[in-house]
A = this chain, B = another copy of it.
């Protein structure tokens, strides 16, 4: 695919936006209204660039493309890495615009990589060929990373252009840091930050990622949950067996796996693994107040999602995401549907993810799950078990640990936090204040590496199918996001 390196251009300013006293909101609105068609085209071309972890060359193209976009606007720009990283580790794209006399440095973070894709699950079969569709009167664009998280990068660049077009001067130093490994566990991001410490510090890191509230109100989140992953595999007969000739005698690995997983939670979604909730830092009074004021959309959401019940025994979503969670991302053994055959499968695998509040270390939580598996009579291996291991233990589980993150949280009364709330509320507020988001990002690594506060702002529609097939963005969310980014970039 040939990419036009001049895609994001500073388009002609509109006279209306040139008036004195123009606010960032007005500047953003005027700019996107005047250039909607070109901006839509540019956004779709950005989405056409494959950006998954399995394709390091594709990620590199994205990074080089973004660096060029920054340079074109007069930013100092670099591709950041660190000594000793494996070949193909995605760069973080860095850009800086210094403001004479600035008292603060504001760092805007986003990520340009996307979740893995299974093309056959997409309606058009092509996650990197954007499709426009009107859904209930709203224009949506469907493509990987439309809502997570190329929308944020595109809105930041466009917001800068809009401010410039309107003649609104910057007050702070502005830094952009766009990561390329967020969806792959941000494995090397802490090292990249540490190796480039002076370039990435600031008074605040604005983590621009994730969806808005279900009502469409912007969310400002002051923390994120950590996460941890495990892959569990149970083995059956060494070759697939006829279920008639051997069924009742040769143990079925899928049955063993479902029995192991079934005991991990109760019928309400409460995790039964011992110590799973131990160590979590409780919410403070300001946090509890913000949660009480947040809109409750549970019932509308339940209907939209065709859910006949929810976990948590009636507690609200905003509360439930402050607790640790355990989720089955996938399970597979043998074949289902038309391809199902009368066999006893050779193995069964499940992928688990855990989300963790402040106070619970992700490696400790992995240990607790593994200890639980052992307590169920399993011999646990970290590598694929040998014939000897399988023969000498009645129950063997192969558990692979994947990369994780710890939680982070910024107190709501931090001065810069108060300014961020004021800026967002000046555009499409009032914002919903969330003490912690349910999702995970590299905030903990950021805070450790930069010493900066991290505050999360988000702009994508809540039903953007992020991390799944048919990811999409409601285009109005992009235009509103430009206004919000303009207010944040123009902060004192």
Contact = CB atoms under 8 A, between A and B. Distances in A.
Interface of A: 54, 115-116, 118, 210-211, 225, 227, 231, 235-252, 254-255, 257-259, 261-263, 265, 267, 269, 298, 302-312, 317, 320-321, 323-345, 348-351, 353, 355, 387, 390-396, 437-440, 462-463, 465-470
A231 B467 contact: no
A217 to B, nearest CB: 15
Number of copies: 2
A235 B307 CA distance: 9
Contact of A240 (B237, B262, B351, B465): B465
B393 A308 contact: yes
B244 A440 contact: yes
A390 B58 CA distance: 41
Given A243-B329, A243-B355, A331-B336, 17 more contacts: A115-B341, A118-B335, A237-B307, A239-B468, A245-B462, A251-B311, A254-B261, A255-B265, A255-B328, A306-B391, A328-B334, A329-B341, A330-B336, A331-B334, A332-B336, A332-B337, A336-B351
A248 B439 contact: no
Instruction: Tell which of A210, A350, A396, A437 has the most Cβ of chain B within 10 Å.
Output: A350
B335 A340 contact: no
B323 A330 contact: no
B330 A245 contact: no
A267 B258 contact: no
Contact of A248 (B269, B340, B390, B391): B269
B249 A320 contact: yes
Contact of A342 (B241, B263, B467): B467
A309 B395 contact: yes
Contacts of A247: 321, 325-327, 353, 355, 438
B437 A231 contact: no
Contacts of A465: 239-240
Contacts of A225: 244
The list of the 10 closest CB pairs from A to B, nearest first, reads A244-B439, A330-B334, A240-B468, A262-B262, A309-B394, A258-B258, A340-B351, A248-B325, A254-B328, A247-B325
Contact of A116 (B265, B338, B469): B338
A396 B339 CA distance: 24
Contact of A245 (B308, B321, B324): B321
Nearest to A318: B249
B307 A329 contact: no
B340 A306 contact: no
Given A242-B466, A265-B255, A438-B244, A329 B309 contact: no
A349 B332 contact: no
Given A327-B247, A328-B252, A328-B334, A242 B116 contact: no
A237 to B, nearest CB: 4
Contact of A439 (B242, B262, B263): B242
A437 B339 contact: no
B337 A231 contact: yes
A119 to B, nearest CB: 11
Contacts of A227: 244, 342
Contacts of A259: 258, 262, 265, 267
Nearest to A337: B349
Given A327-B344, A351-B340, A467-B343, A310 B250 contact: yes
Contacts of A341: 115-116, 329-330, 467-468
A251 B235 contact: no
B118 A308 contact: no
A182 B338 CA distance: 16
21 contacts: A211-B245, A225-B244, A227-B244, A237-B306, A242-B439, A245-B439, A245-B462, A247-B321, A248-B320, A249-B269, A249-B312, A249-B317, A251-B269, A255-B328, A258-B258, A308-B391, A309-B394, A327-B344, A329-B341, A330-B335, A331-B333
B349 A353 contact: no
